[in-house]
Amino acid sequence: MANGSDQAGLGIASQDCGIVQFDGWHDARARFEADLAPRLGGHLPKKVGETTYQHSKLVVRIAPRRFWLISDGLLPPIDIDPELGCMLQLGEGRVRLGLSGWKIKHVLERCVVVDWDSLQEGEGVLVGFHHVPVLLLRTGSFQCDLFVPRSFARSLVDWISDVSSGVR
């Protein structure tokens, strides 16, 4: 996708991203996580919404038994023992919207129920963004990434741009 609006105070950049989903079976959860963790390069996040960086890749526990591995580029498939869980490519369905600028806190507080001041850099949170399920990841003091369903992306960019225009 092309870059979004870039107003003074808030820039919006849109890009494709790689997402691979891993799902473990209820009766093999511990073995699934023990098998998955080293293959993703380290520890898995413990709670839903928590994230870990693994060799420039982001791992998010998106549900109790479900993880997303996110990177900027295409991710190769990682085979999972079918007795432990399964893998699914999801990168085509989502767009990574990068927001940056001094307005970011003021814009986000008009969009999502997130306490920006409490959100640590590298921390992700699942939010309802103008009724759309979105993963928000804080990437800096004045930056965050939104992983949004592709079909909603343009509508959300319009929404964010309009919100931003009202922030003085």
Partner 1 sequence: MKRLNKLGRIDRSQPVAFTFDGKAMTGFRGDSLASAMLANGVKIAGRSFKYHRPRGIYSAGPEEPNALVTLGTGGRREPNLPATTVELADGLVAESQNRWPSLKFDLQSINSWFSPFLAAGFYYKTFMGPTRRSWMFYEHFIRKAAGLGRAGEQPDPDRYEVRHLFADVAVVGAGPAGLAAALAAAEAGANVVLVEQDFMAGGYLLSETQDGEAGAWLAGMLVRLAGMANVSLMTRTSAFGTYDGNVLGLLERHGSRSADPKQGEARQTLGLLRAKSIVYCTGSIERPLTFANNDRPGVMLASAARIYLNRYGVLVGKRVLVAADNDSAYSAAFDLAAAGAQVTIADSRTQPAPQLLEQARRAGVAVRTKSTIAKAIGGQSVRAVLLVEPSGRVTLESDLVAVSGGWSPTVHLTSHLGSKPVYRQDIRAFVPGKVGAGQFVAGAVTGSFILGTVIDEGHRAGNEAFMFCDATRSSRARVQRDPPKTDAGPGVVGDENPGLREESPLSPPPEDARLSMQVSDGVGGKMTLAKGKAFVDLQMDVTVSDIALAHQEGYRSVEHLKRYTTLGMGTDQGKTSNFYALSAMAGLRGMAIPDVGTTTFRPPFTPVAVGALAGLSHGQHYKPFRRTPIHDWHVSNDAEMLETGLWMRPWFYHASGHDVNEAYVAEMRNAREAAGLMDISTLGKIAVQGPDAAEFLDRVYVNGFAKLPVGRARYGVMLRDDGIVFDDGTTTRVGDQHFFMTTSTARAADVMSRLEFLLDTAWPDLRVSVSSVSDEWAAMSVAGPKSRDILAAAFPDLDVSNDALPHMGLLEGRYRDKPLRIIRLSFSGERAYEIYTGASVGKEAWCRLMEAGTPFGLKPYGLEALGALRVEKGHVAGPEIDGRTTLDDLGLRRMAGKRSGFVGEVLGRREAFSDPERPRLVGLRCVEDGKRLRGGAILFRPSEPVQGHGLGRITSTTYSPTLDAWVGLGLLASSAAQEGAELIAHYPLKGEAVRARVVSPTFLDPKGEWFHG
Q: For residue 30, state whether it binds partner 1 (rule: CB under 8 A).
A: no
Question: How many residues of this chain bind partner 1 (CB under 8 A)?
Answer: 42
Q: For residue 29, state whether it binds partner 1 (rule: CB under 8 A).
A: no
Q: For residue 86, state whether it binds partner 1 (rule: CB under 8 A).
A: yes
Q: What is the DSSP string of 125-156?
A: EEEEETTEEEEEEEEETTEEEEEEEHHHHHHH
Question: Between residues 42 and 162, which has the closer beta carbon with respect to partner 1?
Answer: 162
Range 72-109 burial, b when 16+ CB lie within 10 A, else e: eeebeeeebeeebbeeeebbeebbbbbbbbebbbbbbe
Single out the residue of 90, 98, 122, 142 in contact with partner 1 (rule: CB under 8 A): 90
Question: Between residues 54 and 161, which has the closer beta carbon with respect to partner 1?
Answer: 161
- The Cα-based distances of 103 to 80, 113, 161 in angstroms read 42, 16, 11
Single out the residue of 94, 96, 103, 138 in contact with partner 1 (rule: CB under 8 A): 94
Q: For residue 79, state whether it binds partner 1 (rule: CB under 8 A).
A: no
Burial label, 128 (beta-carbon count in 10 A; 0-12, 13-18, 19+): exposed
List of residues contacting partner 1 (CB under 8 A): 16, 21, 23, 25-27, 66, 82-83, 85-86, 88-90, 92-94, 109-110, 112-115, 117-118, 130-132, 149-152, 154-156, 158-159, 162-163, 165-166, 168
